[in-house]
A and B are shown apart, each in its own frame.
Chain A
Amino acid sequence: MNINLKAALLGIAFSGLSSVAVAQRDYQSYEQLTARLQKLSSRYSKLVSLTTVGKTATGKEIWLLTMGRDNAANKPAIVVAAGVEGTQLATTELAVQMAEQMLQGAVLQDSVRDLLLSKTFYIFPNLNPDASEQYHEKLRWERFGNAQPIDDDRDGRMFEDPYEDLNKDGLITMMRVKNPTGPFRPADEDPRVMVKADVSKGEKGGYLLYTEGIDNDKDGKWNEDPEGGVMFNRNFTFDYPYFQQGAGEHPMSERETKAFADFMYEARNVYAVFVFGPANTLTEPLRYDKAAASKRIVSGLLEKDAAVNSQISKLYNRTIQPKNAPRVAPSPGDVLQWAYFHYGRFSYSTPGWWTPPIEASKDTTGGKKPQAPSEHDDVNFLRWAEANDMAGVFVNWKPIKHPDFPDQEVEIGGLAPYVKQTPPVRTLGPIATKHFQFFSAYAKWMPSLQIVNISSEKVAGGLTRITADVYNQGSLPTHSEIGDKSRWVQKVKVTLKLSDNQEVVSGNKIQLSNALAGGEKFQVSWLVSGKGYVSIIASSPTAGKQTKEVFLR
């Protein structure tokens, strides 16, 4: 009863579109975000630059913040990719807040300034701006696709079955239709939430569930071909889902994905890619699966890389202290798996924000017991929203007359679009801070090449034997194990630079090495004739560069 009453109040609060509701979930439009990024880059112009890697179909820029702007391309870099899923507006806000905190920090703290001097952060705040902009349109519906027109159901007609706002509230929610064969029923814990009846447990359904709209093309499917588009996070080359909705005509068919990939392939210095997206491989790492890793089409992390994923997951959990994190596996055609399997870099993903657990009530008067979490996600979300006074999250079910279901009871209602991905903006600040701390710690672990134990030894006949160890003094490998297979990842390179009167008698002037683990070294040696100084240069775009001079004896 209590729940129903509160729900009704929430519904009322929403239909009045209270200013609180708007302020709480004040996510920015493309125009607003652009202004904010421009302001940020002009305010901290010595530390950051704002560029674009391409334009969307509607002419929006795909913005890139390059943090640590001086010499950016020659420093090992971390990529932060946000807004990969059109509905996850919180990821964009998180990425921008983190950038703001880093820049503020760099002005005040030497440690942050040093971080940006030694490393580059490429931050993509929103990779699918044409999709996320639907949040700000007159009709709000959860849009995943970009603005490239696509015939989603491949029937030769474009956009022939869009959503319709039947109850005129500016939101596309759900329709439930009373029908004895319907598989859905109201949840016990919160009857507003529709859940699938488990026939094996003797449960009975009673409702059909559809998205809000009309079956315009009379094919028995509701709203299967709305406006737009291709999904950014379904258009990449690894495990590409051919002919699936939102996947596009072929992998990398879209302006956004192609522009992103073109930038990345040019950026040899990218060490790792962090995706703020649906999958979670940070609180719970991906495990080593020998069968998947040794197939012709490699489809599991290689052994050393899986170990690194565990190592990073521990760091993440120590820093973020996550609770209630969802288990979401990588998905076909996503950017996360592309970044590892095809781009050859370490890659990780976290949603950044998810529904937090409700703190157990301390009120035990009258034998009240703390509520156990529900097995239904939406129920937990609604409880949390209620506890945090989030308004406008639910549209209460109300009957309407529907032309497709004459003489049947049809109601419209359900979670408002986007609510599960748009927590009050104020709650994101602390999360951004924790992720900033995580990235700072991560950067300290990154590889760093040093040339040590140099010896120059006189050999008969005016020759000098030079030996040295090239040593990775970081805690992480110079690059991934899969990178050793990839042509897009450069190996560790040691060059002996000579002047005219000097000559190598034995040993190659250029020597390449596979990935060096944290604390690992490899030895180089040459026999050189001549006098004066020679230089040894150890370099890797992802692990830095060091030059040492050696005197020929």
Chain B
Amino acid sequence: MKKRILTIAFLSACLFSGLISETKAQTADQVFRAAGTPQAPKVTVSWNRYYDYDGLTEICAKLAKAHPNLVKMETIGDSYEGRRIWVLTISDFNTGDPDRKPAMYIDGNIHSNEIQGSEFALYTAWYLVENFHDNKFIQELLQQKTFYIIPTINPDARNHFMHQANSPHSPRSGMIPLDDDGDGLVDEDQPDDLNKDGHITFMRRKSPNGRYIQDPQNPLRLIPAKPDQPGQYELLGYEGLDNDGDGKVNEDPPGYYDPNRDWGWNWQPDYIQRGAYKYPFSIPENRAVKDFVLRHPNIAGAQSYHNNGGMILRGPGAEEDQNTYNRDDNQVYDLLGKYAEQIIPGYTYMVVYKDLYSAFGGELDWFHGARGIFTFSNELMSPYLQFDRKGTSSADREAEQYDFNQMLLFNDAFVEWTPFDHPTYGKVEIGGFKKNYPRAHPGFLLEEDAHRNMAFTVYQAFQLPQLVIQDVQTRKLPHGLTEVTATVANTRIIPTHSSQDLKYRIERPDYISLRDSTVVAGMVLENADLNLGKEQKLNPARLEIPNIPGMGYIKARWIVKANKPNLLVEVDSRKGGVVSRRFEPDSKNTP
């Protein structure tokens, strides 16, 4: 007990004193800087391993403590089991309210076994703030934009995955107990870690009637016997017992629901969309995220990390939703997606419903469909990262995993087959890949792939709307009136309103205001040269603009009853940020 208190005291000393007492093998003057990596980070993190919930929490707290002008750590709500869900706000706090800057949202780990999204998200936070003082691009980026980073939105089951016996594919669900087999009992027949190694692997049994044989290339692997060839083994599924005596093994595991079938866009119930829970946002972690996003209308881009396969995914998730993604928005997605393909070798830009599977109620569909936010889900860990071969068949890729395990991991990722006396099946053997392979990156690949994916989210953040009041021109009219014309440009490729947003008026219009008390009329110009425009009768000083397109501009015109109008122009856009600029009445006013 005493020991434990001491440990906690030590931990909190690390957390809050800022004294990070780590033994370093090198001193600063012995280090030669590698390009693109922070030279002397205040918070040192090893990016070749994974962190459980407490580990993530500690890194978040250290970053917030070490960089108070760049990082804010807050909670968005509690998980089902009562863990705080942390969000990091990353921005230059000295240059405006971070909640009014165009923002990029990043989360990871919605599927609890898809763990590396958390490290990728957190690497992004770490990289941005530890490079801030040395890198001009990042300085400008954080002056203009905000990142909201939630390393894990499924903390309960993340811990379950790491600390309980699991396979690479479990639990995936969150931890709300559920009756999966309709017998009125919840989670009563879970997989059992029969050999007590912390992994749920496979059971096989020697049998002359089995249809599998040992792979002559790799004795760890079973392959189907040829049609005319006798077999050696039967496969009996994942490690486990028939705990409830109903004749089925492992049929009611922890959970089971899919947190990524729980979002409020074209949501469908479990019998149509396997994995759906009660109704949209009936899972508390998702509800907290949804509330956070609704409270932050400045979010204009998003990334939700999954694994695996090396994909840069966009919606629609469901075939029925094809019309939700129209041409204008798809052009933006395509530009970003192609960029990602270039900087993340082995990853392919894809559309969920046609290239992966058609599913309802996914997170990216809600972000795009209901909020008009440009959203990607990267499926992390590509087979291409294993060997320099692309375009192999899925059977070959599966074989490669065994080779990779042997050649680069020296069999660390595999539980070797060992005999076990099973109460139902008799003499069996238990073995197979550990839960940390092949979906999770092996350590040595983790930092590189985190960096590449981070660079993509940074690019997306850079391409969020950037509004610039370019010039203001004045022209004298009779009767003491003056015509004022302002040009407001968006210098990046993402518009202030996606076309999905425009179609359903999801977010309010942008406002362009002239801070002059004598405005008598105002109009948004369609063609400034021909003086074609649309007059706004109510409150003409603050013109309402439906959208400022990517790489486009808007011209606004006012008639004021003044010879020397107050030429202070303000632009206020939910997703495009707030800018204002004062022009001198007598100068030419064109930069």
Contact = CB atoms under 8 A, between A and B. Distances in A.
Interface of A: 151, 153-157, 217-219, 237, 240, 242-243, 249-253, 258, 261-262, 265, 268, 296-298, 341-342, 482, 485-488, 490-491, 493, 504, 508-510, 512, 541
B504 A217 contact: no
A155 B269 contact: no
30 contacts: A154-B504, A154-B505, A155-B508, A156-B508, A156-B509, A157-B508, A237-B279, A240-B267, A242-B369, A242-B504, A243-B505, A250-B280, A250-B366, A252-B279, A258-B279, A261-B278, A262-B278, A265-B278, A268-B184, A297-B268, A297-B320, A298-B272, A482-B271, A485-B271, A491-B182, A491-B183, A493-B184, A504-B245, A508-B247, A541-B184
Contacts of A258: 279
Nearest to A238: B269
- Which 6 A-B residue pairs are closest in the complex by CB-CB distance? A156-B508, A250-B264, A485-B271, A154-B505, A243-B504, A218-B538
A151 B244 CA distance: 52
A491 B180 CA distance: 12
Contacts of A491: 182-183
Given A237-B280, A486-B271, A487-B178, 19 more contacts: A154-B508, A155-B508, A156-B544, A218-B537, A240-B267, A242-B369, A251-B280, A252-B279, A261-B279, A262-B278, A265-B278, A297-B320, A341-B269, A342-B279, A487-B179, A493-B184, A504-B245, A509-B246, A510-B246
A510 B279 contact: no
A370 to B, nearest CB: 51
In this complex, the member of B179, B279, B280 whose beta carbon has the largest number of chain A beta carbons within 10 angstroms is B279
A490 B370 contact: no
A219 B538 contact: yes
Given A217-B538, A237-B267, A155 B505 contact: yes
Contact of A250 (B270, B281, B504): B281
Contacts, number: 98
Contacts of B320: 296-297
Contact of B270 (A151, A154, A217, A487): A487
Interface of B: 178-184, 244-247, 264-265, 267-272, 278-282, 290, 294, 320, 366, 369-370, 504-506, 508-509, 537-538, 544
A487 B370 contact: no
A487 B272 contact: no
In this complex, the member of A219, A242, A512 whose beta carbon has the largest number of chain B beta carbons within 10 angstroms is A242
Contacts of B182: 487, 490-491, 512
Contacts of A261: 278-279
| B interface, over-half SS | loop
A488 B184 CA distance: 10
Contacts of A218: 537-538
Contacts of B183: 491, 493, 510, 512
A154 B506 contact: yes
Given A251-B279, A487-B182, A493-B184, A510 B268 contact: no
A510 B244 contact: yes
A261 B282 CA distance: 10
Nearest to A485: B271
A154 B370 CA distance: 13
B290 A250 contact: yes
Given A156-B508, A250-B281, A342 B244 contact: no
A265 B180 CA distance: 15
A253 B265 CA distance: 12
A98 to B, nearest CB: 29
Nearest to A250: B264
Nearest to B282: A252
Contacts of B244: 510
A509 B248 CA distance: 11
Contacts of B246: 508-510
